Amino acid sequence: MTLHRQAQELLDSFASATGDGPPPERSVEEMRSLSGGFRQMQGDAAVIGSTRVEKIPVSGGFVEATVYDPVGDPNGLVVYFHGGGFVLGAPRDFEVLYHALVAQSQVRLVAIDYRLAPEHPFPTGVDDSYAGLLWSAEHLADGLPIIVAGDSSGGTFAAVAARRARDHDGPALAAQILVYPVTDHDFSRASYDEHGDSGLLVGKSDMEWYWAQYASDPAVRDGEDASPLRAASFEGLPPTFVLVDEYDPVRDEAKAFADRLIAAKVPTVVDYVADQMHGYFTMANMMASADESIARVAAYIRSVVNP
């Protein structure tokens, strides 16, 4: 199946506006500026009940967390970690996605504004994320079912948080939702060859650049906190929803993660999107495929919090 027409149109428009220089030729600041530009293209967010910002204590200080509440009482708590290659993004950049999930799922969602690389390299982001889960479970759950979720590098953090919660008597999780998660650092997988440098939003050179910002010492990348696919055991992890898209260099590592979950008899839903690329899920109101996938994730959340 070919790349979705709306995805190709976006790529054409993006290339026309920004040029074709790959991320290694750009500064972190330029990449962050480009990344933040998508929000203004998305229009209005769905109506929800309220939004507030909390401060969460972490090693070395505090991070902010934005809490999104539905209209009416929430049925569950989703702790969400945004994507951005460990380097880019903040909750405000993804508020259209968060509003949609809250409105469609009737949950409280807390978006953790973890500290970014390269200013704060591994393991800061993953540690901040787990601290955010622990704080949210204590202060925001109110007895509600708890789900961890994330897209791309945020999927990395969600997967690590779920395993840490299992291993260290953390909060009981009702589910984890991993949207095209980064689960390994092996650039030799077939999906890196097929979609590594084909003009997509994220290619092989992008991923190499992101990893260099996040974990410049290759020796630390093999650990399960950096590459959750390499965890010794998947038994006892919470039920999982894994979204895998075809036009994506991390396709195969996301599939491999799902395969290990299934082998460990973890209830697993694999949602395969044959005509989309890495990054599309957060483009609510811009792509029909994004809105459809968000609706499926929201349906999964409802099935978890209202069994």
pLDDT digits (tens, 9 = 90+) for 4-17: 999 999 888 877 76
Catalytic residue at 188? no
> Is residue 201 one of the residues assigned to a domain?
yes
Cβ(67)–Cβ(139) below 8 Å: no
> Is residue 163 one of the residues assigned to a domain?
yes
For 286, the domain range is 5-43+53-305
> Is residue 12 one of the residues assigned to a domain?
yes
Catalytic residue at 152? yes
Span 58-94, pLDDT tens digits:
999 999 999 999 999 999 999 999 999 999 999 999 9
DSSP codes joined into one string, 83-111: -STTTS--GGGGHHHHHHHHHHHT-EEEE
Order across the sheet with 50-58: list the strands.
50-58, 61-69, 108-112, 77-81, 146-151, 175-179, 240-247, 268-277
Span 281-307, pLDDT tens digits:
999 999 999 999 999 999 999 999 998
**133/121 Cα distance (integer angstroms):** 20
> Is residue 30 one of the residues assigned to a domain?
yes
> Is residue 48 one of the residues assigned to a domain?
no
Catalytic residue at 248? yes
Marked catalytic residue, from 129, 136, 152, 153: 152
Length of the chain: 307
**95/97 Cα distance (integer angstroms):** 5
Query: Is residue 181 predicted with pLDDT exceeding 60?
Result: yes
pTM of the model: 0.96
> Is residue 81 one of the residues assigned to a domain?
yes
> Is residue 285 one of the residues assigned to a domain?
yes
Marked catalytic residue, from 82, 278, 289, 293: 278
CA atoms within 13 A on the CB side of 126: 26
Q: How many domains does the chain have?
A: 1
Marked catalytic residue, from 248, 252, 289, 293: 248
Query: Is residue 272 predicted with pLDDT exceeding 50?
Result: yes
Q: Output the domain CATH number for residue 283.
A: 3.40.50.1820
